Amino acid sequence: MAHADDALFGSVRGRIRVIAALSLLGAVTAVVPFIAIVELARTLWPALDGGVVDTARAWTIVVVAVAALVVSFAAAATSGVVSHLADADMQLDVRRRIVRQLRALPLGWFGARSSGAVKKAAENDVSALHHLVAHAIQEVITAVAMPALALAYLFTVEWRMALACLLPLVLTVVLYSVMMRGGQEKYAEYDASVVRLNAATIEYVHGIAVVKSFGQAGRGHRRYREETSGFVRFYDGWMRETSVAAALIELVTSPVIVLVYLCAVGAWLTGAGAVAPVDVLPALLLGVGLTGPVLQLGFTSQFLRNASRARASLLEFFRQPAMPQPADPVEPAASDVALADVSFSYDGNRAALSEITAACAPGTVTALVGPSGSGKSTLARLVPRFHDVTGGAVRLGGADVRDIAADRLYAEIGFVFQDAHLLRTTVRDNIRLTRPGADDDAVTRAARAAQIHDRILRLPRGYDSVIGQDAHLSGGEAQRLTIARALLTDAPILVLDEATAFADPDSEAAIQTALSALAADRLLLVIAHRLHTITGAGQILVLAEGRIAERGTHAELAAAGGLYQSMWERYEKARAATTPGVVS
């Protein structure tokens, strides 16, 4: 476990020991002034009967108490400063490790996760660790050391009063255990309820315009109302179940009630002649504060729980296997792609692709078509090495893509997918994302070729407009921006996951024009959903259940009487029914 935690706390492990030592010193010296008061009272007690007071001992006790008080404050303050500085350094180190891990992960890892998952690791989980380093060490040590030291002293002075002081502490622990019985299940249910409520809220907010437009507002937010009501019922029931125990804990740990209780016990023992009045004083001073640290630890348990979950989540993230990099990278001899008996499985059990063999020459278009789930996207993503094949090889210019350095590989292969990913930065920087040194003229030429230049000029600050701030683009416009990015990259091989799949007719026409510019003299591997866009492809690979069922040109396959012909006929009928002027 310590080895696993090195990925998180290795950079501050030495300071964690310092924090623990300072916390222990602070906890011990915080008790000493109370003990000193008791001992000072015992030293001065003979004066009440006209006896002789040991003045030297009294002054020694005072000096020790003052010194302990100074050391306690200094240790607590230093511990707080060291812990927060260590927390800042730890967060910086972990975030750097996260960035390195993100750079090492295969691109397919990102495709299987949302940006929220990356943000959770890099921001939320790291921030949640704050309590472990900055607070938990001091709180745990204080919660254990102070009561233990106080009780040890009380038992040496007067064991009966020590037992009386121990009772509220035991009752607090027992009641808290009762209150938290089944807590793991309740917390799991709480987390699930929050997830459902968040999903329902997002769904309602995103769909509110639609449901209002169709007069279904009441029905549209029914799920939101149901999830809200369900969460309230669960939380209310949970609080009702624990309310009695929580109220009893408040009573048992109340300083006033504990003081009254100890005074009563002390008066009874003193009246019975069992103890001297001076022996009651230690319990009155130290017994009141025994439950406080333990109770505080209980109150912070939710922070500790969140931090522990974040720790587990981050350790799981760091266990994700990195994409292997070649020890001796090779250079591709050309810009052709060959798939040699390729097989692939996501989980090592069920094959997503089997025995795929094909060749794609520079300057040609290869289209991948097939039913949903046939493996089109999976196959296309193996070429830019989003994943590594589990059998066979993907070769670029005769070299296995696994033997080509990553920067060299992505200089050869570009890709444009259905989901246009834009960063919250200027339009100019979004276009030159893969070529940060490109000048403004090159950016403008790429934008013109992608049919997006005129739209950019209509933005408030043109190319300096910030995406999401003063640049709000439609899906088709965002897609053309990513095509401009691909044009600027100037990679000789392009993988296109039907860029027009969700575009309106006007945007589709503009995107097709942009793609024509993008395709010039390049090898294109196209995932086709709209079949009319690939009728001119040099070869069409028809996939079914992870295998190539047919291959050929559009004319050959449309007349072959196979799967492609069936797909084409259905597509033409659907297109004729939805597009005016199209005759099937």
Quote the pTM value.
0.69
The tokens for 541 are 């690979």
Q: 560-582 pLDDT, tens per residue?
A: 888 999 999 888 888 777 655 55
**Is the confidence at residue 220, as pLDDT, over 70?**
no
**What is the per-residue pLDDT for 226?**
80
Q: 47-88 pLDDT, tens per residue?
A: 777 777 788 988 999 999 999 999 999 999 999 999 999 999
The full set of domain ranges for the chain reads 1-157+308-322, 337-578
**What is the per-residue pLDDT for 580?**
55
The tokens for 44 are 């001065």
Collapsing DSSP states into helix, strand and coil, what is residue 400?
strand
- Confidence band, pLDDT 50/70/90 cuts, at residue 391: very high
**What is the per-residue pLDDT for 477?**
84
Residue whose C-alpha is closest to residue 377's, from 34, 108, 94, 80 = 108
Mean pLDDT of 345-351: 82
Mean pLDDT of 29-39: 89
Cα–Cα dist 141/25, whole Å: 10
**What is the per-residue pLDDT for 579?**
59
The tokens for 412 are 């050869």
Q: Check residues 22 and 52 and name the one with the higher pLDDT.
A: 22
**What is the per-residue pLDDT for 218?**
52
| Cβ neighbours around 261 below 10 Å, total | 18
Tell me whether strands 391-396 and 523-527 are parallel, antiparallel or unpaired.
Answer: unpaired
CATH code for residues 337-578: 3.40.50.300
**Is the confidence at residue 299, as pLDDT, over 80?**
no
Cα–Cα dist 487/446, whole Å: 6
Collapsing DSSP states into helix, strand and coil, what is residue 353?
strand
Cα–Cα dist 77/29, whole Å: 13
CA distances to 58, 199, 563 from 277, in Å: 19, 64, 99
